[in-house]
Amino acid sequence: MDYKLEYMERLFAKISKKKTECYVINRIWHQLNDDRVKFVVQQYIRRTQDKYALADLYLPQLHIFIEINEPFHKNNVEVDRIRNEEIINKTHSTLRVIDCGNVTKGEDDKDVIHWKPLDEIHRQVTDVVNFIKQRVAELGENFKPWDDASTLTVEYHRKKGYLKVEDNECLRTTDDVAAVFGTKPKHRGFLRASGAAVPGKKTEIIWWPNTTHKRWHNEISEDGMFIYEYPEEENKSVTQSEHLKQWLSAPEETRITFLRYKDDLGFCFYRFVGVFRLNKERSKHENKCVWERISDTYQLNV
């Protein structure tokens, strides 16, 4: 199946129970009629150290997020205002709001919901679509079309010649990751190793840790600078101390790392997160392997 088709199918399936939100986003998508613009729904955005928000619709290439306010939002006007200001300050994005109704007090001080007419909602959608088109036009040649399908290929990365964290480099399978380096992942029976040697590089390996592995704990720090690796309690093959001792005594190894993750639509990816080496002092202090990022870029020799 075409990647964009599958992506949009999953996107609308995800928000299908939010009827108003789904209707409005669907209309924006079809009225815009430009599949170069990527849509992201319920985008996780960290507002402060301990608070986060979910943007209804986010357009990452254009730094636009769109809020779809249903009538019950009117009970939280001040909360929403503060939340939106924090999102704008954090992401440096532009906010557009589509207002679908309001709430007034009726008899016995009960809330009465008033939905805006459909043509008024459509008018607001048209305004938002025109704004999106204007932003695309203003960017001109600097606008980078949504093209995840091609950037997920082995050929794309080999032709590009390097990997960079800020480019959000991703591949779909470990076979693809290995192929970028001109090799193949090794199998152990029905199991697959968590890495492969880089051809021609004695101390470099390609590593694809899984953050949801049942037997191994792999966790990346929020700033992306450290990966913590140790066996889970269910892993009877090695203890945490034994695992650490093994790596402290091993020759120095450089890991070109692709972290496995699943996005909000259920797609699994291996994302390049940098080049790592074991920080021995920190590992000893924390009694687990602490891999520290030494570079956010890797030059491919292909």
289 and 175 in a single domain? The answer is yes
Q: Is the pLDDT of residue 23 over 60?
A: yes
153 and 131 in a single domain? The answer is no
Of the three residues 142, 176, 198, the one that is the final residue of a domain is 142
Quick check: 29 and 8 in contact, CB under 8 A?
yes
Quick check: 124 and 117 in contact, CB under 8 A?
no
Q: For residue 28, give both structure tokens.
A: 């924006």
Whole-angstrom Cα distance, residue 64 to residue 95? 6
If one compares 49 and 209, the residue with the highest pLDDT of the two is 209
Please name the residue ranges forming H helices in 249-291.
280-286
pTM of the entire predicted model:
0.71
86 and 217 in a single domain? The answer is no
Strand ranges in the chain using DSSP code E only, listed in sequence order? 40-46, 52-59, 64-69, 94-99, 101-105, 111-115, 162-164, 170-171, 187-188, 191-192, 195-197, 204-207, 216-220, 226-231, 254-262, 268-278, 289-295, 297-299
79 and 172 in a single domain? The answer is no
228 and 252 in a single domain? The answer is yes
259 and 227 in a single domain? The answer is yes
> What pLDDT does residue 244 have?
94
| pLDDT tens per residue, range 269-293 | 999 999 999 999 999 999 999 999 9
Looking at residue 126, its amino acid is: T
| pLDDT tens per residue, range 124-151 | 999 999 999 999 999 999 999 998 888 8
Domain span including residue 88: 3-142
DSSP 8-state assignment for residue 198? P
Of the three residues 120, 142, 164, the one that is the final residue of a domain is 142
Whole-angstrom Cα distance, residue 48 to residue 110? 34
The pLDDT > 70 percentage for the chain reads: 86
The domain tally of the chain equals 2
209 and 295 in a single domain? The answer is yes
> What pLDDT does residue 189 have?
46
Whole-angstrom Cα distance, residue 95 to residue 44? 15
258 and 173 in a single domain? The answer is yes
169 and 116 in a single domain? The answer is no
Whole-angstrom Cα distance, residue 219 to residue 227? 5
Lowest mean pLDDT among 47-56, 100-109, 136-145, 216-225: 47-56
End-to-end CA distance of the chain: 30
CATH number, position 127:
3.90.1570
- Averaged pLDDT score across all residues of the chain: 87
DSSP 8-state assignment for residue 172? S
Q: What's the Cα-to-Cα distance from 193 to each of 18, 139, 185, 206, 208, rounded to whole Å?
A: 41, 44, 7, 11, 9
Strands 170-171 and 94-99: unpaired
Tokens 């608070």 found at: 51
38 and 102 in a single domain? The answer is yes
200 and 110 in a single domain? The answer is no
Of the three residues 142, 176, 201, the one that is the final residue of a domain is 142
Q: Is 223 exposed, middle or buried (0-12, 13-18, 19+ CB in 10 A)?
A: exposed
293 and 213 in a single domain? The answer is yes
Which pLDDT band holds residue 24 (cuts at 50, 70, 90)?
A: very high
- Angle of CA points 248, 250, 255, to nearest 5°: 90
Task: Answer left, alpha or beta for residue 11, where phi above 0 means left and psi between -120 and 50 means alpha.
Answer: alpha
Quick check: 227 and 220 in contact, CB under 8 A?
yes
Which pLDDT band holds residue 225 (cuts at 50, 70, 90)?
A: very high
Q: Is the pLDDT of residue 191 over 90?
A: no
If one compares 203 and 104, the residue with the highest pLDDT of the two is 203
Q: For residue 54, give both structure tokens.
A: 């979910």
